[in-house]
Amino acid sequence: MKTLWSGMVAALMLVPAMARADRAERMEKRAERMERQGERREKRGERRDERGEKLIQKAEAKDQRAGDLRAEGHVKAANALERSADRQERRGERLERQGERMERQGERREKRGERLEHRADALEQRKASAHAATPATPAEPTVNPATPAVPAN
């Protein structure tokens, strides 16, 4: 009966250690995933920013064309083209802002992933050093506390 209880206690003591070992691996995988997401988000933000800049350039071209039309006497067409250019410019500015924000978010997520990876490495190191620090045998196996300190003559 005693061996059954001691076996159960030993099994229950091993469960948290195994869960901690798995925790470092999960944390490291999450860190890598966050880094990849951050890189993707950063690239996507750059593309959106570039697209916004192109839209603004197109809007400026439309404004110039509206000025030419107005000079030729086509006022209504010039007004319509100007309104279209204004909408396009606002959209371009909005896309630029979104792109910049996405880039910053991506950078932050990437840094957070790196920090998390360092934490996972530190957790693994602690786990490894904790295993090495606990000896399987007592420090001085030759000295038995029950033996009196009397010379053997």
Place of tokens 């880094």: 35
Nearest to 28 by CA among 18, 16, 36: 36
Answer whether residue 146 is part of any domain: no
Q: Which domain holds residue 92?
A: 19-124
Model confidence at 31, pLDDT cuts 50, 70, 90, reads very high
Answer whether residue 10 is part of any domain: no
User: CA-based angle 41:46:51, to the nearest 5?
Assistant: 125
Answer whether residue 143 is part of any domain: no
Q: How far, in Å, CA of 53 to CA of 59, rounded? A: 10
Model confidence at 44, pLDDT cuts 50, 70, 90, reads very high
Answer whether residue 136 is part of any domain: no
Nearest to 109 by CA among 48, 40, 61, 54: 40
The residue-averaged pLDDT of 28-54 equals: 95
Answer whether residue 88 is part of any domain: yes
Q: How far, in Å, CA of 58 to CA of 54, rounded? A: 6
Output Rg (C-alpha) for the chain, integer angstroms: 35
66: tokens are 């509206």
- Note whether 52 and 96 are within 8 A (CB): yes
State the total domains in the chain. Answer: 1
User: What does pLDDT average to over the chain?
Assistant: 85
Answer whether residue 54 is part of any domain: yes
Answer whether residue 140 is part of any domain: no
- Cα atoms found within 13 Å of the Cα of residue 109, Cβ hemisphere only: 19
Question: Quick check: 61 pLDDT over 90?
Answer: yes
Answer whether residue 94 is part of any domain: yes
For residue 83, the one-letter residue type is R
Model confidence at 9, pLDDT cuts 50, 70, 90, reads confident
